[in-house]
Amino acid sequence: MTLSHEIIVVTGASTGMGAATARELAGRGFHVLAGVRRPQDAEALRSERIEPVFLDITEPAQVAAVAARVESDPLGRPLRALVNNAGIAVNAPVEALPMSDWRWQFEVNLFGHIAVTQALLPALLRSRGRVVNISSIGGKVAMPTYGAYAGTKFALEAVSDSLRRELAPHGVQVVVVEPGGVQTEMAERGATTAGGIAAGMTEEQTERYGDLVRAIVAHSAAFTRAGQTAEAAARIIAKATTARNPRTRYTIGRDAALMTRLSRFLPDRLLDRMMAADLRPHFPKPVTV
């Protein structure tokens, strides 16, 4: 069976890594169902082997519609893989982040992925396909103000381990990809959201965390600028999706490879000091009179 006769679903394909992954897999001959949320993103992606589908992974009707599209494929093509890539980043101190934002972060970054996986598992079990979950370096190490985001990624890592062990006897592989810095729009959107949340902090919270939030925003921007391109990240995701004998985990970027290793061996207090030192240059400079 040729590659053009296999389907891959990629969620969160409107921009960034998702769009680049859809194009990379299409270039390798797969028929990609690319999940988008806006008509303009659909038209930007549409090509001979990329079929945009409207998919908000928090909307059950849209998730069901994509599963129905896979089941009723006019050419009877099997589902080779699901790439769970959709995600958001909402960063703020644990004390200051509203509970609605905590819940929404988990709804998108964890429960949405589970919903799509559940919907497509019947097809993946028939084809002995693959689930690829896009986690993060934040799924191994949690920076200050990343409590909610890292919490979703730590949880996704655990769910992936459980799912891998459940499905291995049935021929379905589960792979985790852990990106470090990648040049996408997520950091910019996260900075905007963080600024809005910071503006709503109490006076006492601002005194405690204001400089930290500004440092994190500056650090995130620098981290993103120095990161991998979306296209380079997409090549690793495509490898995780198509390798005959994939590893259980892949990292993207030297920063991710280093931090995931250090997190396994270094004491927590030493990691705390390393993170504080990494953040220190990004704190606002004291005003001198």
> What residues act catalytically?
149
In sequence order, which residues have a C-beta less than 8 Å from that of residue 14 and are 6 or more positions away?
35, 36, 37, 38, 41, 45
Tokens linked to 3: 């590659």
Residues making up the chain, counted from first to last: 289
Tokens linked to 140: 């191994």
Looking from the CA of 264 toward its CB, the CA atoms found within 13 Å total 6
Q: If residue 114 lies in a helix (H) or strand (E), which one and from where to where? A: helix 112-127
- The Cα 227–Cα 233 span in angstroms is 10
- The Cα 178–Cα 6 span in angstroms is 25
Query: Contact 41/67 with Cβ under 8 angstroms?
Result: no
Closest to 132 in 3D by CA, of 72, 97, 197, 83 = 83
Tokens linked to 85: 């890539």
Closest to 12 in 3D by CA, of 164, 194, 182 = 182
